Amino acid sequence: MTTTSFEDRFGPGLWVSVVIATYNRQDLLRRLLGQLDDQTIDARRYEVIAVDDGSKDDTRAMLADVRTAYAHHIERQENAGPAVARQRGVERARGKVVVFLDDDMQVRPTFLERHLEAHVHPDTVVLGRLRPDAKIAEMPLFERFYARVLARQGDGFASGEEAVRGHNLYTGNVSLPRDLFLRVGGFDPAFRALEDEELGIRLEKAGARFAFANDAESVHGSDWTSMKKWMDRCYRDGVYQTKVSRKHPDAPESSPWRHLPNLNPVSRPFMALALASPGTAKVIAGTAIRTAAALDRVGLEPAAIAGATFVYGLQYYRGVRSETGGLDDVRREYREFKRGLGMMAREGAGGDAATLRAMLDAIREDHRMMEFYAEKYDRRESLRDDRRESLRDDRRESLRDDRRESLRGDDRPYASLPRLGGDAVKKIGFQILVAYRVMRWFRARGLVLGAQFCSRLIRHAFGSDIHWDADLAPGIMIVHGFGLAISYAARVREGCILFQNVTLGYGPGEGGGARESGAPLLERGVHVGVSATLFGPITVGEGSKIMAGCVLNRSVPPRSIVEAAVPQVSARAPARQASGGGPGGQSSPGKGAS
């Protein structure tokens, strides 16, 4: 790749901004700044921005003597985590492409050139190769454990056996267009771990393509020596993996439950113990890591690495349990994950027939929920007593999770289809749901243009704007339906009711920053009243009611009632009297008394 072609592609000015978050590593950062000074591209075409995340010593002052041919800036902030530090670096950056590097990396002179070579297409995210330091044998046991994991992953990417996906993103060595980063909102500051994976999922949803540059390698040589800090990190990974999964329930590859079906049968009961009794698992983890370290000291490295892997799993699922809640929550979330996998497997195995079945099942669930709420709230004569009794029996069964799961998998005929067809003609809200399910069928089959066309039909037919990526779980109800505006990032769980003119919009979080943007998640059984507007990355807790006319941009706990300001009502001033006026002795409109 020639410099001329880079100039054609990236134009004048700065091509690259290297962003580094640093903490208590002045010596390692000094080494990295020196290596970046030896790059093969023109020093006028790149800059380096390092953000000191509240180090004990002032990194900027300690490195004031560093001189480089390229422009570099070292900023300092109060400790807020690497995500906030990197975000600040990007906001300061002026290059067209941003390269993220960890402060303990080493790079070759061709590092930036190899990254730029991979940016052939717009909106490309390029992962570089992470290689362990040549002195890996001298590193602590847990660092060698990570080195093996990264090497195995890199080999899979380089060989093409594994495709790079959003959840694979790591900030130790990655580049992407700055405008793409800002377009998706950057890092979520709520994540003090796995912030890179969470960003990668949003990049993938935004349509980014991912590439792997095997030659854009960096050498990782961490100075971590504390086993306790490593174990805390394993625990934190479990906590934040659960947070990632809750924010992106449509990304099963990022669910903490994805590992359980593939675990070694010997270790599986121990991971279950970590979920059921985290305190007991903590004791076992401590004993196991001491045993692994002893094995390592006598030269049994493979057994020691296996022990470290086991300990990582225990700590990880202790973190998952902490974030998930009680045992009932663990069972429910794992059951939902398995059900989601089952639906995906059926779709993958059955192609069009399976996705068609999934669509029809979703429509049936919507219809059942509509009948359930009709029985609960509608006392009109049109619901005869005998039908109402049959609906009660049906509801007692269909609203239980295990019954629901079995119904989705059976082959019994759709006995309620005549009623369903009639309601599809009479009920506008149900018509919209049917149209939405058809739109999602197109999306599931990869026919995005068809899904977009359905979205436009819904807009013109019902005056509602529902994005084809909006996630409306089977078993919701829409009342009247006109005037809905539902963002691509909105998520609505089963049992929810949406009245007319409801907005579930994309917008900033409570802090107002672009990097905190998102759309609402409505948990089970939430009712949203007429003309309510909900926006931003908020969660409305299960069983809550949002009353008519509310504007909400903050999360609320389960079983909340959110009310709009009550209108003030006062009496009008009495009409003025005039002799010889109009009827009743009142003055004519527009005329005062004489």
Task: Say yes or no: domain 1-223 is CATH 3.90.550.10.
Answer: yes
Q: CB neighbours of 369 closer than 8 A, spacing ≥ 6?
A: 475, 476, 477, 494, 495
Q: Give the chain's length.
A: 594
The whole-number pLDDT of residue 590 equals 40
Residue 413 confidence (pLDDT) above 60: no
Confidence of residue 263 (pLDDT cuts 50, 70, 90): confident
The whole-number pLDDT of residue 384 equals 46
CA distances from 48 to 18, 21, 35, 60, 527 (A): 5, 11, 12, 13, 50
Q: What residues does each domain of the chain span?
A: 1-223, 226-346, 427-562
CA distances from 293 to 227, 270, 296, 315 (A): 10, 20, 5, 17
Residue 594 confidence (pLDDT) above 60: no
Tokens encoding 422: 């009639």
Q: Mean pLDDT throughout 435-462? A: 87
Asked whether the beta carbons of 501 and 483 are under 8 A apart, the reply is yes
Please say whether the dihedral angle defined by the alpha carbons of residues 449, 454, 458 and 460, taken in this order, is positive or negative.
positive
Give Cα 361 distance to the centre of its chain: 26
Distance between CA 20 and CA 161 in Å, rounded?
Answer: 30
Residue 397 confidence (pLDDT) above 60: no
The whole-number pLDDT of residue 137 equals 67
Confidence of residue 295 (pLDDT cuts 50, 70, 90): very high
CATH number of 427-562: 2.160.10.10
Confidence of residue 332 (pLDDT cuts 50, 70, 90): confident
Q: In which residue are the tokens 């941009």 written? A: 553
The whole-number pLDDT of residue 410 equals 38
Whole-angstrom distance between the N-terminal and C-terminal Cα of the chain?
Answer: 92
Confidence of residue 347 (pLDDT cuts 50, 70, 90): very low
Q: Return the closest-CA partner of residue 39 out of 102, 108, 101.
A: 108
Q: Mean pLDDT throughout 202-211? A: 91
Asked whether the beta carbons of 285 and 314 are under 8 A apart, the reply is yes
**Amino acid identity of 531?**
S
Which range is least confidently modeled, 81-90, 252-261, 365-374, 399-408? 399-408
Pairing mode, strands 545-546 and 533-535: unpaired
Does the reported pTM lie above 0.85? Answer: no
- Each residue's pLDDT tens digit, 477-508: 999 888 999 998 899 999 999 999 999 998 88
The whole-number pLDDT of residue 378 equals 61
Average pLDDT over all residues of the chain: 83
Q: Mean pLDDT throughout 554-558? A: 92
Q: What percent of the chain has pLDDT over 70?
A: 83
The DSSP string of 253-313 is GG-GGGGGGGS-TTTHHHHHHHHH-HHHHHHHHHHHHHHHHHHHHTT-HHHHHHHHHHHHH
The DSSP string of 394-445 is HHHHHTSHHHHHHHHH-----TTHHHHHHHHHH-HHHHHHHHHHHHHHHHHT
Tokens encoding 491: 């998520």
Q: In which residue are the tokens 């979080």 written? A: 509
Which range is least confidently modeled, 29-33, 125-129, 444-448, 524-528? 444-448
DSSP code at position 478: E
Asked whether the beta carbons of 198 and 143 are under 8 A apart, the reply is no
Tokens encoding 349: 């195995």
Residue 381 confidence (pLDDT) above 50: no
Q: Return the closest-CA partner of residue 275 out of 220, 313, 237.
A: 313
CA distances from 441 to 356, 449, 468 (A): 7, 12, 10
Q: Mean pLDDT throughout 203-228? A: 85
Residue 361 confidence (pLDDT) above 50: yes
The whole-number pLDDT of residue 49 equals 97
